[in-house]
Chains A and B, each alone.
Chain A
């Protein structure tokens, strides 16, 4: 598994718009000389940060999806069921399109990658915060799921209203953001994302025992001595910071969070989170590296939107697995 991850990492960084021989890639990674100096620059400042981002995004979203599916006992739940990505979209939509409506002067300076990341974090956490407040008032986790979906609808409605009134250029800018991109991160941003993801993973590891108990249902989990209310917050928080920060830096990446936990469950044929948590981290990373490799269309100058690729690559795999096993394992 880990070997596979390293292999895909290698393939990922050796392919790109500028064709660099594999031997040069390897020697560059290990600090050696390359035939062409700019190659080393490309690899160290563009491809490796991008590959690391892919790993973080893939693992983080997959783990977040696993947490949500177990918490809601619903195979269709994903990292974004709590309205996290719609919150981020709302933030970004307000920044890009709202600025053109409210003040056209400030707009040009405002819209940069960093401010996009900040505003979408604020958006996702804003929505997550609302959902948590509501969560403290409802006892039923299923109701929480519906509430999350409703928040998603509201934000989607606001976004479409904004796009109706905005000009074509701003709209295009917003649409580009929603395609998702993992190639624009600097080393500093990768480091920040990495720290946040590690925090999310630690929270998830703490929750492993609870997650296993939740396989019996919340009522059984309660009689096993688990403080359901507290653990529910902890799991939502873990999923929220993972999905929220990733959406902030890489845009709303679809599908990984929904599909990887299913793939992992099918492959390992288990529901034990002691196995699932590390397994989804690795599978998520592998799938994301693979998608990114496909997205940059090796040796071509074009880069396809990553958000489309994750679904095109991922969906058939899940369908194939389900058809082969003939039933859904949850």
Chain B
């Protein structure tokens, strides 16, 4: 791999881990190491870039944490342990943690895997409302192209050749979805913006 990544017109290589933590927060696919954390404790860890050497939370930190919790609707689960949560709830907790980190960019790696359709839509709608309400940039990778077409502002198709980028409508008009998968197996219907398995 080559190339460079700029945040605020500055190469990310020149950022210290501490500075980068103030710009980007992430939600990864990997499971967290200790499931014995409570939801509140886990979300509070998102404040680490701001806390002092031993990690004491200030009043401001607590306010940010509580806002994050209410934004993703976790108030009732606040004191539950992580091992008691379902996959969908856990994903919301991880998103709340990223929100608590209060960065302008949030990166998510396949936030909807292992979830059923309802929870997939739920998570993606949540992400969308976050971008609109908090002015954050949210970038996520996904295999859910149909949901992406419905909910995303911009999409980058990784098709291994020209990787087209644009709004879902532009991409549909330029027929990029039609050739995304081998056409003898999956075809794309531009009017309904859905994929069909070819029988």
Binding site for B on A (CB under 8 A): 73, 205-206, 208-209, 212-217, 219-220, 222-227, 265, 269-272, 274, 329-330
Contacts and interface: CB of A to CB of B under 8 A. Distances in A.
Contact of A227 (B17, B25, B51, B54): B17
Given A224-B49, A226-B17, A329 B42 contact: no
Nearest to A205: B54
A215 B32 contact: yes
A270 B46 CA distance: 18
Given A212-B55, A217-B28, A224-B49, 12 more contacts: A73-B34, A208-B54, A209-B53, A209-B55, A215-B34, A215-B37, A215-B45, A223-B21, A225-B20, A225-B22, A225-B48, A271-B41
Given A213-B45, A219-B28, A220-B26, A225 B33 contact: no
B18 interface: yes
A225 B49 contact: yes
A219 B45 CA distance: 14
B36 A330 contact: yes
Range of interface residues on B (Cβ < 8 Å): 20 to 34
Given A208-B55, A209-B53, A224-B101, A265 B24 contact: no
| SS class, residues of chain B in contact with chain A | loop
B59 interface: no
Interface in B46-72: 46, 48-49, 51, 53-55
A214 B48 contact: no
Given A220-B28, A223-B21, A214 B33 contact: yes
Nearest to A217: B33
Closest 9 CB pairs of A and B: A225-B21, A225-B18, A215-B34, A209-B55, A73-B33, A225-B49, A224-B48, A217-B33, A216-B32
B42 A216 contact: yes
A105 B191 CA distance: 95
A66 B121 CA distance: 41
Interface of B: 16-22, 24-26, 28, 30-37, 41-42, 45-46, 48-49, 51, 53-55, 101
Contact of A209 (B17, B20, B35, B51): B51
23 contacts: A209-B48, A209-B51, A212-B45, A212-B55, A213-B45, A216-B32, A216-B34, A217-B30, A219-B26, A224-B45, A225-B16, A225-B17, A225-B19, A225-B48, A269-B36, A270-B36, A271-B34, A271-B37, A271-B41, A274-B54, A274-B55, A330-B35, A330-B36
B146 to A, nearest CB: 29
Given A213-B48, A226-B17, A220 B53 contact: no
A230 to B, nearest CB: 10
Given A224-B101, A225-B22, A209 B54 contact: yes
A321 to B, nearest CB: 14
A208 B42 CA distance: 15
Given A209-B53, A223-B25, A225-B18, A217 B32 contact: yes
B33 to A, nearest CB: 4
A213 B45 CA distance: 7
Nearest to B24: A223
Nearest to A328: B36
Nearest to B28: A219
B51 A224 contact: no
A217 B27 CA distance: 12
Contacts of B21: 223-225
A304 B128 CA distance: 67
A216 B33 contact: yes
Nearest to B18: A225
Contacts of A272: 41
Contacts of A206: 53
A272 B45 CA distance: 10
B55 A224 contact: no
Nearest to B47: A224
A224 B24 CA distance: 9
Nearest to B15: A225
A214 B48 CA distance: 12
Contacts of B20: 223, 225
Contact of A329 (B36, B46, B48, B51): B36
Max chain A CB contacts within 10 Å: which of B18, B25, B26, B34?
A: B34
A209 B45 CA distance: 9
Nearest to B107: A223
Contacts of B17: 222, 225-227
